[in-house]
Amino acid sequence: MMQNLFKICLISLFSALYYSPAYASLTIKEVAHGIYVHYGLHEDTNVENKGDIANIGFIVGKTCVAVIDTGGSLMVGKALRARIQQTTTVPICYVINTHMHPDHIFGNAAFLDDHPQYIANTRFSEALASHATSYISAFSRLLDEPLNDKILVYPTQTVAETLTLDLGERIIQLKAYPTAHTNNDLSIYDESTDTLWLADLLFVDRIPVLDGNLSGWINVLEILQQQTVKQVIAGHGEIKEADWHLSLKKQLQYLKTIRQEVRAYIQQMRPIESAIEQVGQSEKNHWLLFDNYHKRNVTAAFAELEWEDEEKQ
């Protein structure tokens, strides 16, 4: 009896290890020459996925590797680092954080031994510091492990507007944005492949999450819509269409629907409680995890646009 119980426990343990993305070799896709992406799961962070819910990856030059986001836990960060070492012997010189959300940066500490420059938007550090306690508390609960501030690695170099990095016969350009998805968004453009890594400025399939400024995000997307780059990498989800503009257009439709309908509620002096339940419901079938985040988006939009309405009066 005890022997059978031991076998069952052993099988359960190895099954958990095998199926957990953080323990397994991280799946990566070379989307363009020297650009590798791991596509995160369309889930919320939990014990099983170890925070492996965001798109992360790296760009390989002749002399340097630039890591772009590191995942939602130290374990995911370590898995990404191992995957880089399996792919190339070129040293890791840069870890670029596209914004301060934990699912993109809680793997940062996995790269400390490489002594890279950690690069982020100028407003990143203040934004992360102001949320640090709540992030650590939430992810300790979600991952079911005690976390502390050692999980937080702050930038050693920041970007106010643009920054050019040479990875060795490979130029990448980093660009900071006005407040959009967050107040510290950063994109990465690879000249050699005409690839633009937009991170969470663009969500594919998974519902966008507003943690910055709705109108600001719409403005940024409308400008990006005019660009003609060959390829775009989103922060969540994989773009399957040949024309990436279609994914961006879908997100714009969602954000503009919220803005238009919330403005109507405010002008009609209807309560926020009603808006939360009714605004944007036409978009429900277009997005994964809609019920998890949409009401929060409407709440944030209402607060922003209500203030906008007061300023006009």
Return the percentage of the chain with pLDDT > 70, whole number. 91
Q: What confidence tier does 307 reach under pLDDT thresholds 50, 70, 90?
A: confident
Query: What gap in Å lies between CA 6 and CA 12, rounded to an integer?
Result: 10
- Phi, psi (deg, nearest 5) at residue 239: -75, 120
Give the tens place of pLDDT for each residue, 258-304: 999 999 999 999 999 999 999 999 999 999 999 999 999 999 999 99
| Overall pTM > 0.75 | yes
H helix or E strand, kind and range, residue 221: helix 214-224
Q: Which structure tokens are listed for 104?
A: 């993109």
Give the tens place of pLDDT for each residue, 215-249: 999 999 999 999 999 999 999 999 999 999 999 99
Q: Do residues 221 and 251 lie in contact, with contact meaning Cβ atoms separated by under 8 Å? A: yes
Query: What gap in Å lies between CA 26 and CA 82, rounded to an integer?
Result: 9
Chain centroid to Cα 2, Å, comes to 46
Q: What is the pLDDT averaged over residues 104-108? A: 99
The full DSSP string for 24-82 is SPPP-EEEETTEEEEPPPSS---TTTTT--S-EEEEE-SS-EEEE--BSSHHHHHHHHH
Q: Which residues does 47 contact at the CB level (< 8 Å), separation at least 6?
A: 142, 143, 144
Query: What gap in Å lies between CA 301 and CA 306, rounded to an integer?
Result: 8
Q: Do residues 99 and 125 lie in contact, with contact meaning Cβ atoms separated by under 8 Å? A: no
Q: Where are the domains of the chain?
A: 20-241
Mean pLDDT check: name the lowest of 7-11, 40-44, 301-305: 7-11
Q: Do residues 275 and 267 lie in contact, with contact meaning Cβ atoms separated by under 8 Å? A: no
Q: Which structure tokens are listed for 233?
A: 């990498």
29-32 vs 35-38, strand pairing mode: antiparallel
Q: Do residues 238 and 265 lie in contact, with contact meaning Cβ atoms separated by under 8 Å? A: no
Confidence at residue 25, expressed as pLDDT on a 0 to 100 scale: 75
Q: Do residues 212 and 121 lie in contact, with contact meaning Cβ atoms separated by under 8 Å? A: no
Q: Which residues does 155 contact at the CB level (< 8 Å), separation at least 6?
A: 97, 118, 119, 120, 124, 125
Q: What is the pLDDT averaged over residues 110-128? A: 99
Q: Do residues 121 and 176 lie in contact, with contact meaning Cβ atoms separated by under 8 Å? A: yes
Positive or negative: CA dihedral 244, 250, 256, 258: negative
Q: Do residues 268 and 274 lie in contact, with contact meaning Cβ atoms separated by under 8 Å? A: no
Which amino acid is it at 99? H
Chain centroid to Cα 170, Å, comes to 24
CATH architecture for segment(s) 20-241: 4-Layer Sandwich (3.60)
